[in-house]
Amino acid sequence: MNGGKQIALNTMTPWLIWSEEEGPRVVYAITETLRLAGVQQVQWAKHPQELISFEGNTLLYATSQVFPSTCFIPSSGFLSETGIKKFEVPVGSWHDLLVLFPMQADWGFDLFAAVFFCLSRYEEYTASQRDAFGRFDARASWAFQNNVLTRPVVDEWLNEWRNGYLSNVKVEAEPQIKFNWSYDIDVAYAWKGKSFLRSVYAQLQHIKEVGMKGVFSTKDPLDVYDEIQSCCSGQLAKPSFFLLAAKQLNDLDRNIQRHSTAFLNLIKRLQIIGQIGWHVSSQAAHDYSIAKEEKAYLEKIMGPITATRMHYISLQIPTTYQMLVELGIREDYSMGYATMQGLRASTHQSFYWYDLQNDSATELLIHPFVYMDANAIFEEKQDADSAEVFIRSFIDRAEQLLVQPHLVFHSHFITEEKKFRQWRSLHQRILSMNDRN
């Protein structure tokens, strides 16, 4: 890193950048990487000599460093490539960090290529390993194969860059907020808002589980929204809720009837607690006409829908995001795995999606998640205590990096049913970490 010397830089003044390479991938990679690092303004030099006379921050992205007083990131040539090819991304070690595209330079790897590879989800375009839902298999990822699936390596790289090159960094970290969180409302109620037969069946199942006291129960066991509101009331931030609203129900899409009074009243309750987004049904995930109908139906009730999460994390890149962009969605919360905990894009930070197929940056803002309760319960067979150790460990690490992880809960796992009591208690304990008091 520039001979081990720290260059005094200020992220609030404009940065002048000259890149030896050109093209949309280069522009996206540099601007998005610097934005995530806290840089506010970027300007582009037409000639490298402009860096010498510029009174402010300068950055050179090239194969060799020609100006010693300029921040220098070595180029591997990856960003100048076109098309999409299957290859094994080069992995190395530098400054106790696992890095991609290692280089022989003071700054030991191509930071911009590495960030671009992770954020664009390049490896998903060429992967043949898919599960029964057509989803990318986490085990096929470079991060899993290098034992860093739960580490925010992109944030670690950016932190190293800030520490090595910047003496006056402004990072917008919300005070006291340790994490962000959201809820998937897959099954809003056990029997409220369901057809007569589904309602009777649910009540019989409840009696079978709790005994005769269930005969006299008037409260729906999945009505946990007072509990959620109580846990969220002391928070500096508000959660998001993703509401499933499939028109036709099936084994995967088991929401309550969306025309029911219970559904409409639930929306009013949730709007008091936080923001509501669209939980795109498994049927809509691969059918534009169904997706368009679901969105239109919800918008008649709630107004414009701008945020989504795919049910069962049925996220196929790039087709899912291309569909969401066409539907006018501005934010998506599906960037994670449905079979294990981990960071799909190797960062806790929200980033703008790059459409690699069309080689263009988009305005779709992606919010990654690292933890989902369903993974802990059903995939990893954890108990709540083990899950809590994991959650606290990555929250502590993220705090050191000045980023906030995102946690996903399901409302029907926060019930007082015996099998979920420990998860209800865990939900309370974790949210208390964020309490403003």
Q: What is the helix (H) or strand (E) element at residue 204, kind and residue range?
A: helix 196-210
Angle in degrees, CA 153, 155, 161, rounded to 5 = 105
Q: Tell me whether residue 304 is exposed, middle or buried, using C-beta atoms within 10 angstroms of its C-beta: 0 to 12, 13 to 18, 19 or more.
A: exposed
Give how far Cα 165 sits from Cα of 22, 106, 153, 169, Å: 24, 12, 18, 10
CA dihedral angle for residue 416, residue 419, residue 420, residue 423, rounded to 10 degrees: 130
Rounded to an integer, the average pLDDT of 213-228 is 80
**Which residues pair with residue 71 across a beta bridge?**
59
Is the pLDDT at 201 greater than 50, yes or no?
yes
Going by pLDDT thresholds of 50, 70 and 90, the confidence category of residue 1 is: very low
Q: What share of the chain is helix, strand, coil (3-state, %, to 5)?
A: 40, 20, 45
pLDDT of residue 8: 39
Q: pLDDT, tens digit, for every residue of 119-143?
A: 999 999 999 888 888 899 999 999 9
Cis peptide before 318 (omega within 30 of 0): yes
Q: Contact at 8 Å (CB) between 390 and 379?
A: no
Top pLDDT among 235 and 1 is at 235
In this prediction the pTM is 0.93
Instruction: List domains and CATH numbers for the chain.
Output: 2-165 (no CATH), 180-432 (3.20.20.370)
Going by pLDDT thresholds of 50, 70 and 90, the confidence category of residue 31 is: very high
267 Cβ contact partners less than 8 Å away, ≥ 6 residues apart: 243, 276, 301, 302
Q: pLDDT, tens digit, for every residue of 311-345?
A: 999 999 999 999 999 999 999 999 999 999 999 99
Rounded to an integer, the average pLDDT of 301-314 is 97
**What's phi and psi for 418, nearest 5 deg?**
-55, -45
Q: Round to whole Å and give the CA distance between 288 and 327.
A: 9
**What's phi and psi for 5, nearest 5 deg?**
-95, 140
In terms of Cα–Cα distance, which of 249, 327, 259 is closest to 293?
327
pLDDT of residue 161: 92
Give how far Cα 432 sits from Cα of 36, 119, 176, 229, Å: 28, 31, 12, 13
